Amino acid sequence: MGRTPVREALRRLALEGLIVVYPRRGTFASSVNITSLSDISDVRAQLEPHAAARAARLADAGDRAELRGLLAELEDEPSSQTALIELDARVHRFVHRCSRNPYLARDLDRYLNMSIRIWYVTFDRLPPMRDPVGEHRALLQAIADGDPEAARRVALEHVLSFARQMRAAL
């Protein structure tokens, strides 16, 4: 592999705030702190409910079939914290795609990645997450029912609940 793909990958990670480049010193993972969590949660609390409401209005038959598959997966509680994180990410990315706004989905995916990073950093200090699977079920059911207001409400509570739990661990 040449230098160009590596340089471009590092540039993208820097743009996403996941690394910090110090000229002539090196490249380092960016720090995770309570300020990062607050700022990320502030944006997600505005955008996630909007995406969920759009998804409830705009999901088509193919999306609803995928949604049923996700609901079936939620029936089996994730076996580990890592499995829960992966399932959480899939549910969020599904909602982002169903919003039918590529700009919104791109930005939300970026903030989701930052949130997942915080989750991994706090992994060993967290008690088991309080009912994230139930929150996901309620969110997906609101989308399946075509209920934008319920989807908005559940998505907001899910983001705020995540922020509270991460804040307690940081």
- Give domain limits for the chain: 1-30, 33-169
Compute how many other C-beta atoms are within 10 angstroms of the C-beta atom of residue 99: 23
Whole-number pLDDT of residue 50:
98
The architecture (CATH level 2) of 1-30 comes to Orthogonal Bundle (1.10)
Whole-number pLDDT of residue 128:
64
19 and 107 Cβ atoms separated by less than 8 Å? no
Q: What are phi and psi of 76, to 5 degrees?
A: -95, 110
3-state SS, residue 145: coil
In CATH, the number for domain 33-169 is: 1.20.120.530
Which residues neighbour 130 within 8 Å (Cβ) at sequence distance 6 or greater? 161, 165
- Per-residue confidence in pLDDT tens, the chain, 170 aa: 888 998 899 888 888 888 898 999 999 988 877 788 899 999 999 999 999 999 999 999 999 999 999 999 988 877 788 888 899 999 999 999 999 999 999 999 999 998 998 888 887 777 666 566 789 999 999 999 999 999 999 999 999 999 998 888 77
Tokens of 18: 């996941």
Whole-number pLDDT of residue 130:
56
Amino acid at 151: A
Phi/psi-derived region of residue 28, left when phi > 0, alpha when psi is between -120 and 50, beta in every other case = beta
